[in-house]
Each structure stands twice: as structure tokens, then as C-alpha cells.
Amino acid sequence: MEYTVKSGNPEKQRIGCVVIPVYASRKLSTSARIIDKVSNGYISNLVRRGEIEGDLGNILLLHNVENTLCDRILLIGCGKEKNIDAQTFYKINHTMVETLQTSGATEIASYLTEISVKRKDISWKVQHSIEAINETLYHFNQLKSEKSETRRPLRKFIFSVNGRGQLMQGEQAVRRGMAISTGINLAKDLGNMPGNICTPDYLAKQATKLATQHNKLETSILEEKDMEKLGMGALLSVSKGSREAGKMIIMQYAAGKKSQAPVVFVGKGVTFDSGGISLKPGAGMDEMKFDMCGAASVIGVISACAELQLPVNIIGIIPTVENMPDGIASRPGDVVTSMSGQTIEILNTDAEGRLILCDALTYAEKFEPDVVIDIATLTGACIVALGAHPAGLLSNHNPLVNDLLSAGQNSGDRCWQLPLWEDYQDQLKSNFADMANIGGKGAGTITAACFLSRFTKKYHWAHLDIAGVAWKSGSHKGATGRPVGLLTQYILDRCKDC
């Protein structure tokens, strides 16, 4: 898809389709009034007759409108003008793309960028238009023998800006939108791959391949023998039940000053989670291929940052394993020793994500990080608490919490803070080890983060539980690519101070 920005009146666009917003209560937007004036009241007559009310989701496709140079004009209802927020803006762009895919138009001039979105500027609107368009157009058909193709696919979008003074700002937004969309789609592709293809070795090869595409990115792999030498007994206790060897993927993007302490992202990479000896129910187990979406998001974020050549230092650490019920798999009641030297009683082998993350979090200390953020599909309890809208956020550092909450609001990829109080730590007590790997029935998301917090005392750390947002079930089953948008926005915000 080609994206660009341009200034100019809608009636002068010689193009396949011009997209114009209309607001609730039949209120015309600025571009709609311009079209109405040159067409001798054609738009206002249609609105007066009730052809389009302007409610959110309304559409009306017009052909060969008088005194315009475009082939079509698509009117899109946007709801009440004062109520349009980031989520509404996304829905409006989604409606646009869904309609245009069957319209026959291939080149589009969008005037949706004139919509007033609360506290958002033209740069935000261009960037997020691209993200919404790519989200709507995304299809995973790599493994289908017959790939469905649109007869006349969309191939170019031009976004309207107010005058030449906004062109450079708009062009920069196009770069950001395209890079972030590429990172999101990469995370989706990795998440959607089945477990028999997307193994720990496959993930390692994809991370290595990405490094060949960017000069300032290097990828290295720790094999099981390397992890044994480092004492990563928690991680290895999970991988030993599978014939697929575990890996520790280290991605180093170094574009900042050498003195700049890096941001470290740690992504949970369980490429298939059977639950181990604590076997999961069969229904829906196919979705456990998505248990590596934390890892996928780390690769996606680094891809976006490298594409944008952001002047920062980022480390991506991805512990990746399969969790399988082999004869030598960990049993409930086993005690293992983590890289930190702390011992863990495994009461439930299906609480394996925290076992691989704890060793990765200890390993992160060697990079002397500014902050560490781990991303994991960690607990079903997070879905119960927050549903499918925000990711759960827990942290030992309030400024980091504020930065992530702000990035979530700005990107539309939101998170919500849960408490990390000392009171919850008692639930992890064990009679036989330093801690248990589960904390009982109550507050499962919080006690999982409490477990991880015991390995993060030497740096500022945040945990994102993405169990509710990493993929969708049902007829729209598939990876979402979240929270690539949130984390890339977090890095972009940091770059303002670089």
C-alpha cells in the first residue's frame, strides 16, 4: 500500500474516490460543505431527504458528482462531532476501508483527517489512519492452498492536510504509521503461525533474519547448554518436557549514545502451551499457539523502532520454549533453582510463563538497563478482571507506570494499572522452597506479578499482562499485534528527550 499526504480542495482531486465525513444530526463537515457548494447543493439535498443521517457507521457512495473531478465520493457518518475519540476515529477508518474494498476504487483521497479528535493533531490522525487501514486490510492466508484476492485491491491513500505547512509533519506521520503497522503485522504473523511451524527455533530464525535487514540491530541466541552454564534452572524446567529445545533470543538495537542505558523488553515465548503435566482442557487448546504473543510483540516493536531509525538503545530478551507433558517434564511438587539462586516449588506446571520470565529478568541485569518491561500472556485472571480492552499493568516504579499509561492513551492501545502491594506476597509462601509458582485462587494476575517482582529488585520494572488483548477468539480468531502500538509509542515519547 502506498500512503502520502497532500493539501487541496476535495472537488479538485482527480482520483478514484474522495472520502468525506458527515456528522450526526445531518451536520456537514468542511469538505462536505465545499462539495455541496460546487455541486449546487447536491449533498445537502441528499442529507435533507434522509439518505444519510451522519450517525456512526452510516455510508453513502456517490458517483460522478457534478463539478468534481473524482469518480466517486464516499460520505461516512461519524456520529456526534464533539464525541469523537481515538477508538471512534479507528471505527470510522475501518468503515471506510470495508466499504471501499468492494467499490472498485483503487486510489483514495481521505478527508477524514479534518475530523476533530479530542487532543489529537494532524500528525496523530495521519499515523493512526494508516494503522487503522492496515489493521482492516490484514489477512493471514500464508498457509491456505488457494489465496483469495480482491479483484481491484486498494493501492494508494492520500491524506488531506491543511496547507503546505503541514506537509512535512504529515510525511513524518506516514513514516511512523507504516513502520508501526509493519511491526504489528509481523507480530500478528508470528502469533498466527501454528505451533508445528512456529517453534522456538523458528522464532530464533525470524529474529536473526530481522537483524540482517537493519545495520544497528544484532541478534544472538543462547542454547540450552549456554543456559545451563548460567544456572537458568527455572526456564530449563519448562523446556525439558519438549523435544523442541528452548532458546534465549537476545536482540540488541544500538542507535543511541553509548552512555545511554537501554530499555529492555522481555517477551514470553511459549510457542505452544499444553499446560504440561497440569494439562489444559482440550476445548480451545489450539489457541495456546498464541502463548508466544509477548515474544512476537518484542520482535514487532524492535522492527518498528529500527525501521524508524530511532536514536535509542533497546534490548529484546525472548525466552522461548514449548510446554509439553513428556515423561521427563516437570511434575507438581518439583523444586527448581532459578538463575538468581532463589528456589521455586512448582505447584502447577501450567504456570510456566513466569518460570521462563524470571530467568530472563535476572539475565536482563547484565545490560544495566534504564527500565525493563516484560510482556506476557500470563494469566487467565487478567481476562476476568479487565476483559479484552486494556492490558494489565503492574510495576515497581510509578514514573514508568505513568509513561506507559500515557503511551497507551495516545496510541489507543491501552493498559490499566493493578496494585502490586506487599500484602499479596504471602500467597506465594512455600513450605519447601523460597516461593511457590502460584498464589492460590485470588488475585491471580497480581500474584503472578508479585512472583516476577522478586527477580526485578535491581532496576525499574513494569509487567504487561496481555492475556486478554493478544488475540481474538471466535469468528475473528487471530493475533492482534498488541501491544506493539503501545510500546512503540512509549519509545517515541522517550525520543522527545533524546
Total number of residues shown for the chain: 498
412 near 132, Cβ under 8 Å? no
- Beta bridge partners, 462, equal 373, 395
Report d(CA 305, CA 179) in Å as an integer. Answer: 8
Largest distance between two CA atoms of the chain = 83
3-state DSSP assignment of residue 49: coil
Core vs surface per residue 483-498: b (16+ CB within 10 A) or e: bbbbbbbbbbebeeee
Phi/psi for 344 (5° steps) reads -135, 125
3-state DSSP assignment of residue 24: coil
345 near 435, Cβ under 8 Å? yes
Q: Distances from the Cα of 275 to the Cαs of 75, 102, 233, 323, in angstroms?
A: 50, 44, 18, 6
Report d(CA 153, CA 163) in Å as an integer. Answer: 29
Full DSSP string of 278-322: SPPPSTTGGGGGGGGHHHHHHHHHHHHHHHHT-S-EEEEEEEEEE
Q: Distances from the Cα of 73 to the Cαs of 19, 96, 99, 136, in angstroms?
A: 6, 11, 12, 20
The single residue listed with the C-alpha cell 442529507 is: 47
3-state DSSP assignment of residue 270: strand
The closest of 370, 349, 300, 353 to 465, measured between CA atoms, is 353
Say whether 280 is catalytic: yes
The single residue listed with the C-alpha cell 475473528 is: 476
Catalytic residue among 175, 240, 280, 458: 280
Say whether 243 is catalytic: no
Q: Is 212 exposed, middle or buried (0-12, 13-18, 19+ CB in 10 A)?
A: exposed
452 near 373, Cβ under 8 Å? no
Catalytic residue among 354, 414, 482, 494: 354
Residues with catalytic function: 280, 354
